[in-house]
A and B are shown apart, each in its own frame.
Chain A
């Protein structure tokens, strides 16, 4: 069964460093999303992406964050200068259509630890 994959599973970085989290969505899906979950808290929407541009972003998704689909398969989330409070689990998701008509499928997550 097709699934969303994410790499790495765990990333440790120093405060102020740039990180890139990678996702490979399900191959025929068109909509891509990033969510984050701070340990023990709820899942929060960060950004949605369609047709090579951001369709919506939350207030969390500030100038330090960017997303890109550099090729036909990868979808990346970049944090330019990490802060301690960026430590969280980051989930990528994809859907075939907008999620009003189809559900989002989540990847296994990348645990980001900022020291």
Chain B
């Protein structure tokens, strides 16, 4: 079954700095998603990555997908405090089910002044 890992699990970074969150998954996945969750809140969809080499950018966040390496990255550029949240990557289990999204453990990001 698809397993999704993330690292780091906790990240404290200074405002203005750049950093990358890594997401590895164990078997082929049709889709790779990135979600943001603020404390006590729901999941906000950030990116849906559909194919090898896909790169998407929104503001200070950029996500990429390398299906050969089974790796997705979420790059943060010039972090600001508003980006503090937990970021989940999630994959779609392939073939056996098109319905089930498998989440990684999440990366708790804290941006400090």
- A positions within 8 Å CB-CB of B: 31, 33, 41-45, 48, 50, 55-56, 58, 91, 98-100, 103-109, 111
Contacts and interface: CB of A to CB of B under 8 A. Distances in A.
Interface residues on B, range: 20 to 34
B100 interface: yes
At the interface, is chain B mostly helix, strand, loop or mixed? strand
A interface: dominant SS: strand
A99 B106 contact: no
B100 A56 contact: yes
Contacts, number: 56
A106 B42 contact: yes
Interface string B23-49: 000000011010100001111110010
Given A91-B42, A99-B92, A104 B97 contact: no
Contacts of A43: 43, 88, 90, 103
Given A43-B88, A44-B103, A100 B42 contact: no
B41 A48 contact: no
A105 B44 CA distance: 8
Interface in B3-29: none
B88 A42 contact: yes
Given A33-B99, A41-B105, A100-B92, 20 more contacts: A42-B88, A42-B105, A43-B43, A43-B90, A43-B103, A44-B103, A45-B101, A45-B102, A48-B100, A55-B97, A55-B99, A58-B100, A99-B99, A99-B101, A100-B31, A103-B45, A103-B48, A105-B45, A106-B44, A109-B41
